[in-house]
């Protein structure tokens, strides 16, 4: 491969482009993490039926429980 062809290819492939600033870092209170658990079928059906989704429903339940402490 010629040197000019190699330089041309490097300009088009890989690396950050000048117009890509990247994503800003997320604040700690908004970061999410994966959770795997085993629950009763009845609980799963109830969680899946919630309009906010499983993760947000669990988050709301934790916030409510912490507020009672």
For 12-65, the pLDDT digits (tens) are 666 667 777 777 888 888 888 899 999 999 999 999 999 999 999 999 999 999
Q: Which residues contact 29 (CB under 8 A, 6 or more apart)?
A: none
- Has residue 65 been placed in a domain? yes
How many structural domains is the chain composed of?
1
**pTM score of the predicted model:** 0.56
- Has residue 4 been placed in a domain? no
- Has residue 23 been placed in a domain? no
Range of the domain at 45: 40-69
- Has residue 51 been placed in a domain? yes
- Has residue 60 been placed in a domain? yes
pLDDT tens for 1-15 read 555 555 565 556 666
At 37 the pLDDT is: 92
Q: Which residue has the higher pLDDT, 23 or 66?
A: 66
- Has residue 56 been placed in a domain? yes
For the stretch 23-26, contacts whose Cβ atoms lie closer than 8 Å and that sit 24 or more positions apart, written own/partner, are none
At 3 the pLDDT is: 58
- Has residue 58 been placed in a domain? yes
- Has residue 61 been placed in a domain? yes
Q: List Cα–Cα distances, 56 to 11, 60, 69, in angstroms.
A: 43, 6, 20
């Amino acid at each position: 491969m010629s040197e000019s062809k190699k330089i041309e290819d490097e300009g088009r492939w890989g690396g950050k482009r000048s117009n890509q600033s990247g994503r800003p870092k997320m604040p700690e209170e908004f970061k999410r993490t994966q959770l795997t658990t085993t629950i009763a079928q009845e609980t799963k059906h109830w969680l899946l039926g919630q309009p906010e989704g499983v993760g947000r429903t669990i988050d709301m339940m934790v916030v409510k429980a912490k507020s009672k402490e």
